[in-house]
């Protein structure tokens, strides 16, 4: 009976988030198709590196307290953890701005000279990225999936519209793309902040201090683990331009972006709901966690195998049709990342189970070992293989095998945790 209720709720909530994510991802897809036809590859490459760095550095900026906000029984505690995350991110980004202002890091990094005009915007981008993600997670805790879905769609629409409007000021350059992204994120930050002010939960400093201490494993173990994991995902965005330049990086970015779209609108929808339902199960009926995990994993692996197989065999026709003839060269990057994504599609949403069962050490160990293998694969390819496709081939094979191992190991961890109850 309980399992049927869980399955029904899970499917209903997943469908709500899926529809919202689908609309935003369709808009993003249209945006990238238009960017490919109007913006130079190098400019798009600079933009993707900027976004990649924002995603990467948003992880340590919050101390990962936003993830902890999913766990407390009391809503006031969740709200307090959100405040801690936003406060830490603001301080982190302010210090980073001062550091970038005083030390011109970009001048020491080969092939990244063009990002110099945007480097002082990076701390602002990091704060906006961290804030947006924190609000999304907090509202998942509240069950406001429709609200999050709506705001993701609004953000995507604003990004698309502003990208072309701002070409009146900065032309078809990376600056226009970055500013459009930042403005769309800033508007959502203001709206979310107004919502929180209306529903304001007052906290004394001592209350926030106590919460920070009670969830101290998040800024230590979880933050480091998530940072390593995010870095390992973004690695090709740094290695490819370092070896072959921003133009080639754009081809990879498009291939990886399209391969990641099913994960972003389907996997993300399932992940948001899976975290919510699993957190409740851990409190109400822990014995149901493992069956719930297995059922979700099996469904995801079957679905991902079908959609990625179809994507791989149709890519050579669809890429030049959608993005233009020059993007036929992005097809091999897509195909290899799609093959790896069969397992990444499953790994991404179910990995939150380690938070639910309080095994934050396990992903830290796994992610540390993973990034060593991935860096080794990229370095071997960069120095000993003759083209960037071979680099991504080796990276994708390594990533896929590691993801498969983690999917299997998560079930073992969950079973062990349940047996200890």
What pLDDT digit, counting tens, does each position of 67-115 carry?
Answer: 888 888 788 898 999 999 999 999 999 999 999 888 766 555 555 556 6
- What digits encode the pLDDT tens for the residues 159-187? 999 999 999 999 999 999 999 999 999 99
For 243-264, what is the mean pLDDT?
A: 88
DSSP string computed for 277-299: HHHHHHHH-GGGHHHHHHHHHHH
- The domain tally of the chain equals 2
* Range with lowest mean pLDDT among 6-20, 262-276, 389-403: 6-20
Place of tokens 């979700």: 296
Q: What is the pTM of this model?
A: 0.82
Percent of the chain with pLDDT over 70: 91
Tokens at residue 174, please?
């990376």
pLDDT band, residue 5 (cuts 50/70/90): very low
Tell me the pLDDT of the chain averaged across its residues.
87
| Cα distance between residue 321 and residue 172, in whole Å | 22
Residue 34 belongs to some domain of the structure? no
The reply to whether 198 and 246 lie within a common domain is no
Question: Would residue 30 count as lying in a domain?
Answer: no
Between the alpha carbon of residue 14 and those of residues 8, 70, 262, 348, 403, the distances in Å are 10, 17, 14, 15, 23
| The predicted structure's pLDDT at residue 73 | 79
pLDDT: which is higher, 19 or 372: 372
Confidence grade of residue 235 (pLDDT, cut at 50, 70, 90): very high
354 and 224 both lie in a single domain: yes
Are residues 73 and 9 both part of a single domain?
no
At 145, list the tokens. 């999936």
Q: Is the pLDDT of residue 311 over 70?
A: yes
Asked, for residue 29, whether it belongs to a domain, the answer is: no
Between the two ends of the chain, the Cα-to-Cα distance in Å is 22
Q: Are 232 and 366 in contact (CB under 8 A)?
A: no
Give helix 246-262 / helix 223-244 axis angle, nearest 10°.
Answer: 140
Same domain, 9 and 56: no
- Residue 70 is predicted with a pLDDT of 83
- The pLDDT of 280-306, averaged and rounded, is 88
33: in domain: no
Q: Averaged over 333-350, what is the pLDDT?
A: 94
Nearest to 246 by CA among 108, 31, 32, 41: 41
Residue 58 has pLDDT above 70, yes or no: yes
338, 360: one domain: yes
CA dist 363 and 287 (Å) reads: 22
Residue 245 belongs to domain spanning: 1-21+217-421
Which range among 207-211, 244-248, 307-311, 388-392 shows the weakest confidence by mean pLDDT?
244-248
Answer yes or no: do 16 and 49 share one domain: no
pLDDT band at 1 (very low <50, low <70, confident <90, very high): very low
Weakest-pLDDT range from 16-25, 128-137, 312-321, 345-354: 16-25
Say if residue 274 is in the same domain as residue 258: yes
Q: Where are the alpha helices (DSSP H) in 200-330?
A: 205-214, 217, 223-244, 246-262, 268-284, 289-323
Integer Cα distance of 177 and 153 in angstroms: 17
Range in 15-19, 56-60, 260-264 with the lowest mean pLDDT: 15-19
């Amino acid at each position: 009976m309980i399992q049927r209720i869980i399955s029904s709720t899970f499917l209903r909530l997943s469908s709500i988030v899926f529809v919202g994510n689908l609309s935003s991802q369709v808009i993003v897809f249209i945006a990238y198709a238009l960017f490919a036809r109007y913006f130079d590859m190098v400019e798009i490459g600079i933009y993707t590196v900027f976004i990649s760095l924002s995603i990467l550095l948003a992880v340590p900026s919050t101390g990962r307290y936003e993830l902890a906000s999913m766990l407390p029984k009391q809503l006031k505690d969740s709200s307090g953890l959100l405040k801690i995350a936003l406060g830490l991110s603001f301080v982190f980004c302010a210090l980073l701005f001062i550091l970038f202002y005083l030390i011109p890091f970009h001048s020491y990094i080969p092939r990244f000279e063009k990002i110099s005009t945007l480097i002082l915007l990076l701390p602002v981008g990091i704060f906006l990225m961290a804030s947006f993600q924190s609000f999304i997670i907090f509202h998942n805790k509240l069950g406001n999936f429709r609200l999050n879905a709506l705001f993701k769609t609004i953000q995507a629409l604003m990004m698309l519209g502003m990208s072309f409007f701002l070409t009146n000021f900065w032309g078809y350059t990376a600056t226009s793309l970055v500013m459009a992204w930042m403005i769309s994120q800033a508007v959502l930050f203001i709206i979310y902040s107004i919502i929180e002010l209306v529903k304001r939960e007052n906290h004394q400093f001592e209350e926030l201090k106590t919460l920070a201490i009670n969830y101290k494993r998040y800024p230590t173990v979880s933050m480091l683990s998530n940072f390593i994991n995010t870095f390992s995902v973004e690695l090709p965005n740094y290695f490819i331009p370092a070896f072959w330049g921003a133009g080639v990086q754009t081809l990879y970015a498009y291939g990886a972006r399209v391969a990641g779209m099913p994960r972003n609108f389907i996997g993300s929808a399932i992940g948001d709901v899976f975290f919510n339902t699993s957190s409740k199960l851990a409190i109400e009926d822990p014995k149901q966690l493992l069956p719930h995990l297995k059922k979700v994993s099996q469904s995801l692996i079957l679905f991902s195998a079908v959609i990625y197989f179809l994507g791989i065999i149709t890519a050579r026709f669809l890429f030049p049709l959608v993005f233009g003839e020059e993007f036929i060269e992005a097809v091999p990057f897509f195909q290899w990342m799609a093959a790896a994504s069969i397992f990444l599609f499953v790994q991404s949403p179910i990995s939150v189970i380690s938070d639910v069962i309080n095994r934050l050490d396990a992903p830290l160990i796994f992610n540390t070992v993973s990034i060593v293998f991935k860096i080794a694969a990229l370095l071997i390819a960069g120095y000993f293989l003759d083209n960037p496709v071979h680099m991504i081939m080796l990276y994708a094979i390594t990533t896929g095998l590691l993801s498969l191992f983690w999917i299997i190991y998560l079930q073992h961890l969950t079973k062990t945790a349940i047996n200890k109850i």
